[in-house]
Chain A
Amino acid sequence: GQQVQQSPASLVLQEGENAELQCNFSSTATRLQWFYQRPGGSLVSLLSNPSGTKHTGRLTSTTVTKERRGSLHISSSQITDSGTYLCAMSNNNAPRFGAGTKLSVKP
């Protein structure tokens, strides 16, 4: 079945540093979505794009569909960015999730 792999599994940054999160998937995707989850919290949709690059605030999502990969760039990280970032891919079916990248931003 479809598999979604995220890397790194965890990442520790100093406040102000940039983060690059990777998502690779095993089959053709028609959409890649990024979600954020605070410990004990719900999932919040960050960005969703089938291909190309999309920006919102300090976040940039890039999806290269034919290479079956995507990335999420977080610029100038803040302590409040700490949490788990999940990517989900779909191909005309229910979205499948990766295991997430746990981000910790230190002061």
Chain B
Amino acid sequence: ETAVFQTPNYHVTQVGNEVSFNCKQTLGHDTMYWYKQDSKKLLKIMFSYNNKQLIVNETVPRRFSPQSSDKAHLNLRIKSVEPEDSAVYLCASSPDWGSQNTLYFGAGTRLSVL
């Protein structure tokens, strides 16, 4: 049963445009994450929020910015997309921050930059 919802499923855009991806979880979890999965299926952590507070910010370009209005929502904005931003962006949540954090993933947003 899906409990982490991502929109849109797909997005095609051109270099330099701005895009926004949405993520909502209905599990009542405190922690949410954004991962980037490249064409080789490798997942890299980008950001992590706990109770609306940013706690992990990996080395990602400044054009990426997360936004959290409440602990159930974590959106991702890319200001001016580049070709290397083409990937699947996966949102996840976990009950809390720390060692017991079992992840629950959304279906992902596939971004294609032309």
- Specify the chain B residue showing the minimal Cβ separation from A41: B107
Count of inter-chain pairs, beta carbons less than 8 A: 55
- Our pick among B42, B56, B102, B107 for the contact of A94 (Cβ within 8 Å) is B56
Residues in B neighbouring A45, C-beta threshold 8 A: 102-105
Residues in B neighbouring A88, C-beta threshold 8 A: 43, 103
Greatest chain B CB density within 10 A among A30, A33, A88, A95 is at A95
Contact with A along B71-114 (1 / 0, CB 8 A): 00000000000000000001010000011111111111000000
Looking at the assembled complex, report how far the CB atom of B65 sits from the nearest CB atom of chain A, in whole angstroms. 17
Looking at the assembled complex, report how far the CB atom of A7 sits from the nearest CB atom of chain B, in whole angstroms. 15
Q: Which residues of B in the span 22-62 have a Cβ within 8 Å of any Cβ on A?
A: 33, 35, 40-45, 48, 56
Q: Which residues of A in the span 86-105 have a Cβ within 8 Å of any Cβ on B?
A: 86, 88, 90-97, 99-100
Contact A90 B104 (CB under 8 A): no
Contact B103 A99 (CB under 8 A): no
Residues of B within 8 A of A (CB): 33, 35, 40-45, 48, 56, 90, 92, 98-108
